[in-house]
Chains A and B, each alone.
Chain A
Amino acid sequence: MQEELKAIQQEALAKIQEVGNLKELQAIKVSYLGKKGSLTQVLRGMGKLSPEERPIVGEIANQVREAITNAIDEKNTTLENAALEEKLQAEAIDVTLPGRPAKVGGPHLLTKVIEEIEDLFIGMGFEVREGPEVETDYFNFEALNLPKNHPARDMQDSFYITNELLLRTHTSPVQARTMKEYKGEKGFKMICPGRVYRRDTDDATHSHQFTQIEGLYVDKDVKMSDLKGVLNLFAKKMFGEERNIRLRPSFFPFTEPSVEMDISCKVCNGEGCSVCKGTGWIEILGAGMVHPNVLEMGGYDPKVYSGFAFGMGPERIAMLKYGVNDIRQFYLNDSRFLKQFHQA
């Protein structure tokens, strides 16, 4: 009987060895280990054995069963792996074919620039304010120290609707409105982005509609060196840490002293090139200390309060920063232009 068992083991192991698929393996399993399987049949004959022989043969029988079971399990794993492998092979695709596109839009370049500037000044404690685009002559001019008959307010330069109403020529009226709102009672920091309009013929450097961001800080004891410090921070964040700024005296009716801020030219690093017209510097914005007449009209006592203001053109900044060479691009909305600035 022991020989019989050994023979079954040998025969079974040989068959398992040869088997090529899971189905046949299952059949082998049934034919040896199943209820009617050969091993089971042999073990049924155990009863005829002597009590001495029984444990010995029993042990051998268990060993045979284990050997066959192990071999089947092992073969099963091998065959399963092989089958999976085959399936995966069959599922292979060409990863170089184009993907199904996800539709992605994006912001307009000016919005991108404006939001970047907004966020920068928000970080310095500025609030963002807006105001009407159709303004009164008072807020657009008079409250900004530009009385009627002032040479800087030529009718020819503005889009008037009536004698008293016009499309705002700058976002400065928002400054005047904000001062009124705070009633001369407390210090504040604000910037005001928005659309503005001037009677310019549209060409590569002029647009009858454009955007502006102005800023205003009013408080007790505001110094001109504060203006320089804030503008320096702005310029470095916006144009790069290695940029320097300089202030040049200028003139605006609503500030005194008035300055223009230049940054060192990025192209030549201040050496002078065609971009900066050989000066090494590029004009970025106008600024100054708020004129006492403007503070007073805004309800702030110029003996107690002082302030600084600045104003810049996002178009100009975008042109400098991204190399756009025609201001009309911002309003033509050529989809190829728009897409150039959708990336992060």
Chain B
Amino acid sequence: MLVSLNWLKEYVDTDNISPEELAEKVTRSGIEVDNVEYVAENSSNVVVGYVESCEKHPNADKLNLCQVNVGDEILQIICGAPNVRQGQKVAVAKPGAVLPGNFKIKRAKLRGIESNGMICSLQELGFDEKHISKEYAEGIFVFPEDAPIGESVEPLLNSTDAILEFDLTPNRADCLSMLGVAYEVGALLDKPVNLPSEEVLVGEEKASDYISIKVEDEKLNPYYGAFVIKDVEIKPSPLWMKNYLLAAGIRPINNVVDITNYVLLEYGQPLHAFDYDRLDSKEIVVRTAKQDEKIVTLDDVERTLNPENLVITNGQEPIALAGVMGGANTEVTSYTKNILLEAAYFDSISVRKAVKATGLRSESSTRFEKGIDPNRVKRAGLRACHLLEKYAGGKVLEGVVEFDELDRSEKVVEINTTSINNRLGTDINTEEIAKILERLQFNFERNEDHFTVYAPTRRGDITIFEDMLEEVARIYGYDNLPFTLPTGTATAGGLTKRQLLRRSVKNYLESVGLSETRTYSLTSEGYIQKLVSNEVKGLNPEPISLAMPMSEEHKYLRLSVLPELLKTVSYNLARNQYSLGLYEIGTIFVTSEKVLTKQPDEQLRLSGVLTGKWLEHLWQMENKKVDFYLVKGIVEGLFEHLELPLTIIQAQLPDMHPGRTASLLLDGKEIGFMGQLHPGLEKEMDLKETYVFDINMEAVLEAHHHEPSYTQIPRYPSVTRDIAFVMDNDVHAGDVQAVITEVGAPLVKQVSVFDLYQGDNLPEGKKSVAYNLLYQDPEKTLVDEEVEKLYQEIIQAVNEKFNAYVRS
């Protein structure tokens, strides 16, 4: 809502406060003022002049030689504007005037003839385009005939006006009217509000002889008032009204349309003027539209309606879409003589539906949607009649023809000093509260410290105690609230075990070199099925798509974090960032329902992606590329960190390298995978050799139960032995290790691979894997015999199981 301060001053005195101070005050007590703007920049010594004569300049075709009466003298002025004419009243910058941009007007000679001043356009007077009506967009401004010669143009042009832009929250629809703003400002400044005149000279003819009203649905239209005004003269509105409309962002059209708009802004009540003679009937019937009924609205667009839309009809066909826009068939034109003025109350939901259906949003519909004041509907009609009489020469017929089932009662809210202070933490006394209610101009009854407040209908947002609490608090001032801390129930606060564990996982990953990322949960059709872990696939997931996606790129709820993470890698590679170690703990959305009837399972996944060089130490010629075992080490380290038994077995998965992929098993159950991407996918996504891991965090968080506790540190020395086995290439080193561990238990505490050899000195198709075994007996010092015995048992077991022999 754009609030002209000069207009506002008609209702409330703001003389002792600057526009900026007022804006700050309004902002601090309830409505954010986004901007303070002035209609025009300052100028001085510009007056109304009368063009007594206007001839062509003898030496220049495009210039005019004008004699202009400015009251105390007649100035000869040369004017280049194409629209200057004898008999006009114009804005004259006299010699000595200063126009915006510090442009000083001096006497000068133009093509040999003296020019003593300048006839100005509004642009030259520093008006922004939006404050200039269309007819004066080019050329000089022309005043109405009654403009007083010699007077300063500033008050006539409203050029010193400041416009405050109110950013209204949905609850403050009352300030979609100048009167509402006046009540708000009046409360803040502690000033009374002067209401405008609604006086009408009553004619002899009765409006009811001209029209009857029938409303079919009183819920959708509880009030419909029709005024009939005869013999109007369609002409431009008075300059002041045009100025105020422009200040409010509305283009003036003609006096009748302007007056309905003016009252809309003044009272917040939408009005509509029909050309009575084009109605073709003597009745107004308000009803819901028929399916596919058509109306051509004022903007000359044919609209197709449905039974959710309320229409105004002449008994036959629609003449307006209720609360949204009038019909072209009854539009007021320059030939209009008699008008029917509608002042009605339409249900907000029905108007909202009509706006949605047609895509039409108007100043009127906005107000109906947000709710209007039931006590101002008829008064706004009267106010418009008053203005039509005054500025359109209309004769207002006696009486308003109306349908009236409107509830105009005020909401009653009980408050008392104690309850207000208890909730605010303040110490406001009863007198102060009474004073605040008076400033707000709310009616109330007071009984000691108890108030019965009758919330005015203009403030539809006030219905309960808390609403009144806010009114008192905001006028009292939030700055005056003390700072206190909660004194109630003591609560320990803190993170849950799950949250702590998640932080611990993050810390681990970051300490081994990974960077956390955050990617989008919404992905595209092409990626929704990509890199979905086996155990997720086992849940038969159906892709979940948005009902109305904004783009194909963000259409589905993801089933794997990896695709979006890989897009991040592509993004970085394109920016020459080749070495990356990224991870994300993110949600995937799993359902087996084709049509979602309940919330999907939200599963936390831990996904990582690594590519490029891991470590690079150039001068020592060290260069470590990311490879399978690096990633495996990170994953194993994580499970070691969590003290969870992880098994990693060879696997084959779509979109993964067939020979470099492994499944991750926790207690024998699959919880994810790791490995290199399939080169095909790498190529498709513009990636280089890229490794990923993807882990079901839910399973990890659930399985984790480790509480560290002290174990006796061994007092007896340990013994180590090495064995190298020669085995077939396709035997898995891990399987051999498992057998060694199993046979060696409990004395063999630890088995680790320390060498892998393939090549010379070995038969074709064979490899040698060397293991280091650590023997430890917590009870005593080991004797050679038992170490040796176990050693031989291990060799035998491995030999039997894998046909592997000890390399000598």
Contacts and interface: CB of A to CB of B under 8 A. Distances in A.
Contacts, number: 258
B577 A335 contact: yes
Interface in B618-642: 618-620, 622
Contacts of A299: none
B455 to A, nearest CB: 14
B154 interface: no
Interface residues of B, number: 97
B485 interface: yes
Interface string A180-199: 00000011110000010101
B106 interface: no
Given A248-B27, A257-B470, A128 B424 contact: no
A65 interface: no
Interface string B227-252: 00000000000000000000000000
Interface stretch (A10-18, A72-80, A226-234): A226-234
A151 B370 contact: yes
Interface string A103-137: 11111101100010010011111111010111110
Given A105-B509, A110-B518, A251 B170 contact: yes
Interface string B579-604: 01111000101000001111110100
A194 B620 CA distance: 45
Contacts of B493: 121-127, 189
A130 B698 CA distance: 14
B467 A208 contact: no
B513 A108 contact: no
Contact of B478 (A115, A161, A247): A247
Contacts of B464: 256, 292
B759 interface: no
A320 B622 CA distance: 41
Contacts of B499: 128, 130
Contacts of A197: 521-522
A289 interface: yes
Given A107-B510, A199-B550, A331-B518, A292 B491 contact: no
Contacts of A107: 506, 510, 516
Q: Is the interface of B mostly helix, strand, loop or mixed?
A: mixed
B606 to A, nearest CB: 14
Nearest to A251: B169
Given A105-B509, A209-B521, A225 B424 contact: yes
Contacts of A342: 510, 515
A160 B619 CA distance: 57
Contacts of A186: 489
A159 interface: yes
A182 to B, nearest CB: 11
Interface stretch (B112-120, B541-549, B652-660): B541-549
A188 B484 contact: no
A248 B515 contact: no
Given A110-B518, A121-B493, A222 B614 contact: no
Contacts of A247: 478-479, 481
Contacts of A334: 571-572, 575, 577
Contact of B614 (A103, A104, A133): A103
A339 B599 contact: no
Interface in A156-175: 159-162, 165, 167
B519 interface: yes
Contacts of A105: 509-516, 581, 583
B526 interface: no
A228 B170 contact: no
A246 B479 contact: yes
Interface stretch (A36-44, A56-64, A81-89, A213-221): A213-221
B445 to A, nearest CB: 23
B310 to A, nearest CB: 16
9 closest Cβ contacts across the A-B interface? Answer: A225-B425, A103-B513, A251-B169, A257-B470, A223-B425, A219-B488, A187-B489, A247-B478, A256-B466
Interface of A: 97-98, 100-101, 103-108, 110-111, 115, 118, 121-128, 130, 132-136, 149, 151-152, 155, 159-162, 165, 167, 186-189, 195, 197, 199, 201, 208-209, 217, 219-226, 228-230, 232-233, 246-251, 256-259, 289, 291-292, 306, 330-336, 338-339, 342
19 contacts: A104-B510, A105-B512, A105-B516, A107-B506, A110-B518, A122-B493, A125-B491, A128-B495, A134-B589, A159-B522, A160-B547, A189-B491, A199-B550, A220-B488, A230-B485, A250-B32, A306-B423, A333-B517, A334-B571
Given A104-B513, A134-B599, A167-B546, 6 more contacts: A103-B614, A159-B522, A160-B548, A222-B486, A249-B478, A332-B571
